[in-house]
Amino acid sequence: MKPALIGRELPEIQELLPPGEPAFRARQLYTAAYKNRASGWDAVTTVSRDLRARMAGQVAFGWPGVAQEFASADGTHRYLLELDDGRTVETVFMPEERRDTLCISTQVGCPVDCKFCLTALMGLERNLTAGEIVGQVLLGAVRHNLDPRSRQMNVVMMGQGEPLLNLDNVLKATRILCDERGVGMSERRITVSTSGIVNRMEALGRAAVRPKLAISLNASHEEQRRELMPITKKWHLRDLLAACRAYPLRAWERLTFEYVLLDGVNDTDADAARVVSLLGQLRCKVNLIALNPGPGIPFGTPAPDRVDSFQRIVQRVLPCFVRKPRGRDIYAACGQLKRMADADVTAAGGAPGLVAITHPPG
Ligand code: SAH
Ligand code: SF4
């Protein structure tokens, strides 16, 4: 496989250039790829046609291809992206009035076996490279006309995968996304979500450039969490909370805790009260997500009044929001990413996809 341009920091772009090219060429390519968001070699008009052609022979530009695109009635788009090795992974775009969010993947599949999540059923196929992570953002920004420098655009690493099990690539992608001379996003507009890989949280906290941190709590006590998220056997809830207390929050930052409500399992008022006692002392907010159902998931979605009651209890002490389900009809919502393709979506009662292959991997 050819090396790729996207995913490289400046010194690594320098290494790609033919001998004898001046150093500013690397900067030109860097600017074209990240600041101007060129989508292929042809769009890099700042260097000669000859150099472009020579580079294209040896180096992939590095954008993902779009294998399929699904559009939901609520404006959400789910992309099934094709990678260089033919594997596919998902990115979701969710427009809102005051904020647009791109939900990107960090692995193909996921090795963490959460019992309520469709991605878990895939197992882990492989880590994404930094370029494949950045590529999702570039593609989403260009297709939906988003400005990475504006407050309107947000990126959440909440698609397929456990980001902290691919931390080096996640951090490298973040550095590229946040470089003022390139993509130019603010660290405040990127969030990484983890199932609670405690030792990697410590490593994340030490990184000079890093996204905000969200933690998938999903249970109100140790034993319940072990059943829903078997990773708890390795990383205990009490150690996870200790890592949260020790986490070096920046002055503007607070932790986010996500909590998937499963009907009759972790959604009682007593659960809500326990969540408050677990988190009450932390600088944080809580996002509740009523289960998004899926084939093979042995849980139900709680009724709206249950969700309200849970929220009311947590809200007495902590900011607590209910996350609206987005794109459930196209299998784009939290926990539904399993690269469901056209026929499967229709069979499962969802809307059929929009467009087939529009842009092969570049
Ligand atoms: N692996 C990371 C990030 C991806 S999952 C993590 O687990 O944090 C993103 C969020 O979706 C997590 O908070 C997870 O708890 C939630 N989720 C998983 N399956 C879900 C489902 N079926 N319905 C609603 N939310 C779900
Ligand atoms: Fe992996 Fe997150 Fe799904 Fe758990 S919820 S299986 S960590 S993607």
Query: What pLDDT does residue 357 have?
Result: 43
Checking if the pLDDT of 361 tops 60, the result is no
Confidence at residue 344, expressed as pLDDT on a 0 to 100 scale: 64
Does ligand 2 lie within 6 Å of residue 112's CB atom? yes
The reply to whether ligand 2 has any atom less than 6 angstroms from the CB of 214 is no
Name the closest-CA residue to atom 7, ligand 1: 195
Residue 358 confidence (pLDDT):
47
Tens digits of residue pLDDT in 59-105: 999 999 999 999 999 999 999 999 999 999 999 999 999 999 999 99
Q: How many Å apart are CA 14 and CA 238, to the nearest integer?
A: 46
Q: How many CA atoms lie within 13 A of 152 on its CB side?
A: 13
Largest interatomic CA distance in the chain: 69
**With 0-12 CB in 10 A as exposed, 13-18 as middle and 19+ as buried, what is 54?**
middle
Average pLDDT of the segment spanning 190-214: 98
Q: How many angstroms separate the CA atoms of 167 and 130, rounded?
A: 10
- Coil, helix or strand at residue 155: strand
CA of 187 to the centre of ligand 1 (A): 22
Relative to the CA of 290, which ligand 1 atom is closest?
24
- Report, as residue numbers or ranges, the catalytic residues: 90, 334
Closest residue by CA, ligand 1 atom 8: 194
Categorize the per-residue pLDDT at 294 as very low, low, confident or very high, splitting at 50, 70 and 90: confident
% of the chain with per-residue pLDDT over 70: 93
| Contact 162 CB / ligand 2 (< 6 Å) | yes
Q: Give the number of the ligand closest to the Cα of residue 292.
A: 1
pLDDT in tens, 96-153: 999 999 999 999 999 999 999 999 999 999 999 999 999 999 999 999 999 999 999 9
- A 10 A CB-CB count for 150 gives 13
Nearest listed ligand to the Cα of residue 336:
1
Token pair 């193909």 is found at 108
Q: Which ligand is nearest to the CA of 218?
A: 1
Residue 215 Cβ inside 6 Å of ligand 2? The answer reads no
Cα 81 to ligand 1 centre (Å): 20
